[in-house]
Every structure is written in structure tokens, then in C-alpha cells.
Structure 1
Amino acid sequence: MLFSVFQMSRQGGRKTNEDRMGYCYTRESVVLMLADGLGGHPEGEMAASIAIETVAAMFQKMAQPKLADVADFLGDAIMGAHLRILNYAHSKGMPDSPRTTLVVAVIQSGQVSWAHCGDSRLYMVRQQQLLTRTQDHSFAERGRQRHAAAMPTPTELNRNVLFTCLGSPVKPVFSVAKSVTLQHDDKLMLCSDGLWSILPEHDIVSQLSQQTVEIAVQALVDQALLQAGHRGDNVTCVALGWQAPDTPAAEPESLADTSRTPLDLSF
């Protein structure tokens, strides 16, 4: 495998940055992860950290050097993170548990698969077009889907509130996508709502299409922080650019050739 990856997290106008992100890889598999701790509950940053650490540890244990079943790994990783957060809350005697979103993507055998819980998103861009993005587990997203289907939309207070997350006493709802075969120069980006809630979708697609992932991520994060102002949310991204085999490298300084790499952990 040959790919470039770049990650960045910047604190907005919040007292703390509860976002966490990371990536790991073996010579045959890659995992990208991003979590956004929920405000209104204690220790959101701890919930996000536990989620990322859990996925990374499971990947390190199970990718030898490939995952036996990617879909099973994704589901097990999300539930494993959820249970570890609950165990943490129980061990601390916390009446209200920490909570977080989570989005995870795995690249293996020339394909990408992903899963998510909450409203941290994955974007996939190909040939200057948005190929797909995750659908938020929020009442606002349900409203958009009803509108697109010409269905009556119920009036709801706080429609941006999530209806599921990790760390809640209720079993989380999560989505696992079917795998997509990668093509040369495909771009994947995982991001927190501090980015996508501020920037138009066409700005995200344009930057990822026209720039390297390093330049695109830095530009998008800076733009989101500037437009959000001093009260804006934290902004976090991790992005990957896929390099097809036998294709000249466009970003030689940041490319990872996993044929020579046993394992990397970066989170």
C-alpha cells in the first residue's frame, strides 16, 4: 500500500478540546479514527481518548498484518469502545457517564470500509466529486432525509441533538458501510462537527480535490476556525490520500510505503 496521511486538531472558543483522532497501520491494513467528546456530560475528552485508544489497541492485536473480517472489526471496535467508557464511569462512581462520537475507517486489500456513531463524519472524494459521506445520527439529519423524501418533518426542539453516542446507558446505534474499491487519488477525510457545520460541502470537496491532504486539511481547519469566530467549536481532521500501485508519487515527503513498515501508531 502507498498512501499519504495528515491529521490536525485545533482548539476553538471552548475551554477544552474534547476531540481526539489518530491512525495506525501495518504493511497491509490502515485504520483512521476520530472521536468528539460530548459537551453537557463530564469528561468528554476522556470518552474520546478511550474510544481512540480502544480502536487502536484492537487493531494492533487483530491486524496480523490484515484483519480477518473488516466489518466484524468495525462493529467490535465501536462496541468495545462503548463498553470501556461505561467501565471507566463505573470505576469512578460517576452518576453521569462520559460520552463521545466515533468514526472509524479501515483500508485493506484496495478497499475502504467505515463505521460511525454520532455526527463525526467521513467524506470520500473522487475526481473532484463527493462520492459519499456518512449520515449523522441526529434529529437534524433525520429532518433532512424526510425533506428529501418529501415526507412531513415533525417539529422538534434541539434537532441538532444526537439520538445516539458511545458511553450512554442505552446501547448505541451505529452504521457500518459496505466496502468501496479505492482508485488512484481518492481522498478520505474524517472530521468533527466543528468543521463540517461551518464550511459548505463544496469547499470541503474543492480543497480535497485540488490539494494534497496536508495542504487541504490545514486550509479547511484554518477556514473553519476563522469563520466560526471566537465562540467556535474545536476543529479536528484526519485525512488520507490513496496512491495506486505503480503510480508516481505526488507527495514523496509524506507518503507511507507499508511494504517496509511493520506497524505505526499515531494518536
Structure 2
Amino acid sequence: MKFSVFQLSRRGGRATNEDRMGYCYTREAALFVLADGMGGHAEGEIAAQLALQAMAAEFQRQATPRLADVPGFLRQGLMLAHERIRAYGRHKRMSDAPRTTLVAAVIQEGQVSWIHCGDSRLYWVRSGVLQARTRDHSYAEMDRNGALKLAHKILNRNVLYTCLGAETAPVVDLAGPHTLQQDDRLLLCSDGLWDVLQEHVLLQRLSNSPVQNAVPALVDAALQVAGSKSDNVTALAVQWEQDEAEPAAIDTQDSDGAFASTIQSLQDLEGFDVSLDEAEIERSIAEINAAIRRSAGHKKV
């Protein structure tokens, strides 16, 4: 299994960055996750980090080295993330637990499946043409589909009606498996990106360059368009490459069955002792992306 991947997150005009993203893989499966901590609720960045850690921990437990049940894993991982966030709120004696959106994708046996809750999106693109994208769990999306009642057309149109960390069980959508073709692109992104860039611009930029160039260009474009009012902008893109393709940034056959991850370990999650120093996160992202750039010129990581 070969693929190129690149991720980038910027704070934009906000005081803090509540977005989190990461990926992990074994020889036969890969998981890509993005979460957007929700403003208006305390410690959204903690909720996003806990969600990533819960998904990664469940992936590590089940992918040995492949997942026996991909849809089952996605559902279980998301619900575990929800429960961990709720448990954190209880642990901290918070009157209102932190909340986050989540979108996660698994690639295994040349097929992709994904799950999402909220308005963080996944785009699947082939030769510049959109194959599929997630539909936001928002009143605005309901309005576009003609399912929104008049009262909600006046009030709360852009509000999400589900998320992780709320008192009610999250509403989720699950898709796949879909067979990938060489050079297909997947983009996971927060609303700081998709809400600013027109979809045709997003698809064009994602398709016309390798992901290590497309992601920075997309993030920079969103920041420039939004200016000082920019939300956090986060993107993680995957370029699928089969054996006959050009050398990939990551060749999982070289992993010797080991688990590799850019997401913090379960240890911090268990004790709810999550270090989220902004400078450390930025350095970590820069180191990961630098390693990807270096490896792009070689045939393995």
C-alpha cells in the first residue's frame, strides 16, 4: 500500500487553534482523522485532541495489521471518542463538556470508507472531478435539502445539530467502501477552509499539484480570502498511489507490520493529562511535513 499524505493547520485570526489532525497506519491499513473543537464551549482543543487519540488507540488495537470490520471500527472509534470527551468533562467537573466535530477515513485493500459527525468535511476527487463529499450536520445543509422548517430558517441556520461531547448521542454518516484508482485524492478539512474557498477552486488546486504542494496552497488561499476574520484552517490530503505509480511518500510494506502514528499516544488520554502547548504542536507538524518532503525523493519513508 502506497500513498502520499500532507497535513497543515493554521490558527488564522483566532486566539487559539482548536483544530487537530493526524494519521496512523500499519502494513495493510491506514487511518486519517481531523477534528474541529467547537467554539462557544470550553476547551474545544481538548475535545479535538481526545477524539484523535481515541480513534488512534482503537485503530492500533484492531488493525493487526488489517481491520476485520472497517465500518464497525469507524463506528466504535467515533463512539469511543464521544465517551472519552464526556468522561473528561466529568473528570474536570465541567457543567458543559467540550465538543468537537470529527471526520475520519480508513484505506484498506485499495478501498476507502469514512465517517463524520458535524461539519468537518471529506472530499474524494478523481482527475479534478468530485466523486463524493460529506454532508454537514447543520441546519444550513437541511435547508439546502428542503428539510428545514420555517422556524429554523430564521434562527440557528448555521448551527450544528450534532457533535461529539454533547449530552445526546452523536448523529453520524458512514460511507464506503469505495475502490480507489491511481492518483485519487482525499481531502479532510475544517470549515475554516471549505467555508471560504469556492468548491471548484478547492477541487482544482487539490488536483493540479502533489498533495505536499496543494495543501499549503489551499491553506494560504483560505487565510488570504478570510483575512483577519479567518477561522482556524486545517487540511489533511492523501494521494493514492498503487505499485506501478511514482514513488510514494509512504510505502507501508516497509513498515514490517509496525504501527506508525502522528497522533499522541493513549497514555495521555487515559490520565487526561494532555499537553497541548501550541509551539510544540507547530514544531511537531513541521517535523512531520519535513520528513514527508525528504522521503518524497526516495522510495520509502
Scaled by the length of structure 2, what TM-score is found?
Answer: 0.84
For the aligned residues, what is the CA RMSD?
Answer: 1.1
Question: Deviation digits for residues 157-187 of structure 1, max 9, x if unmatched?
Answer: 1211000000000111011112100000000
Report deviation, 1:144. Answer: 1.0
Q: Partners of 2:251 and 2:259 in 1: how far apart?
A: 11
Q: Name the residue aligned to 1:227.
A: 225
Q: Partners of 2:140 and 2:195 in 1: how far apart?
A: 12
Query: Closer, same or farther in 2 for the Cα pair 1:54/1:247, shift >3 Å?
Result: same
Q: Name the residue aligned to 1:38.
A: 38
- Counterpart AA for 1:118: G
**Is there any run of 5+ residues in structure 1 with no aligned partner, and where?**
none
- Secondary structure class of the residue paired with 1:178: strand
Structure 1 or 2: larger helix share?
2
Q: Name the residue aligned to 2:260.
A: 264
Scaled by the length of structure 1, what TM-score is found?
Answer: 0.95
Query: Closer, same or farther in 2 for the Cα pair 1:175/1:246, shift >3 Å?
Result: same
Q: Partners of 1:156 and 1:260 in 2: how far apart?
A: 55
Report deviation, 1:247. Answer: 2.2
Question: Deviation digits for residues 62-81 of structure 1, max 9, x if unmatched?
Answer: 10000110000000011000
- Counterpart AA for 1:74: L
- Counterpart AA for 1:194: G
Q: Partners of 2:252 and 2:131 in 1: how far apart?
A: 26
Number of residues paired by the alignment? Answer: 259
Q: Name the residue aligned to 1:115.
A: 115
Q: Name the residue aligned to 2:55.
A: 55
- Counterpart AA for 2:193: L
Q: Partners of 1:161 and 1:213 in 2: how far apart?
A: 31
Question: Deviation digits for residues 85-130 of structure 1, max 9, x if unmatched?
Answer: 0000001110011000000000001100000000000000001101
Report deviation, 1:153. Answer: 5.8
Map 1:199-218 → 2, pairs under 5 A: 199-218=197-216
Q: Partners of 2:17 and 2:226 in 1: how far apart?
A: 15
Map 1:235-246 → 2, pairs under 5 A: 235-246=233-244
Q: Partners of 1:202 and 1:245 in 2: how far apart?
A: 30
Query: Closer, same or farther in 2 for the Cα pair 1:11/1:152, shift >3 Å?
Result: closer
Map 1:74-85 → 2, pairs under 5 A: 74-85=74-85
Higher relative contact order (CA 8 A, sep 6+): 1
Q: Name the residue aligned to 2:290.
A: none
Map 1:100-139 → 2, pairs under 5 A: 100-139=100-139
1:162 equivalent in alignment to 2:160: yes
Counterpart contact for 2:142–2:148, Cα < 8 Å: no
Q: Partners of 1:145 and 1:88 in 2: how far apart?
A: 36
Report deviation, 1:136. Answer: 0.2
- Secondary structure class of the residue paired with 1:177: strand
- Secondary structure class of the residue paired with 2:21: strand
**Which deviates the most, 225-234 or 240-249?**
240-249
- Secondary structure class of the residue paired with 1:176: strand
**Is there any run of 5+ residues in structure 2 with no aligned partner, and where?**
264-301
Q: Partners of 1:160 and 1:248 in 2: how far apart?
A: 42
Q: Partners of 1:190 and 1:178 in 2: how far apart?
A: 16
- Secondary structure class of the residue paired with 1:130: strand
Question: Deviation digits for residues 167-217 of structure 1, max 9, x if unmatched?
Answer: 000111011112100000000010000000000000111011111011110
**Runs of 4+ more than 3 Å apart:** none
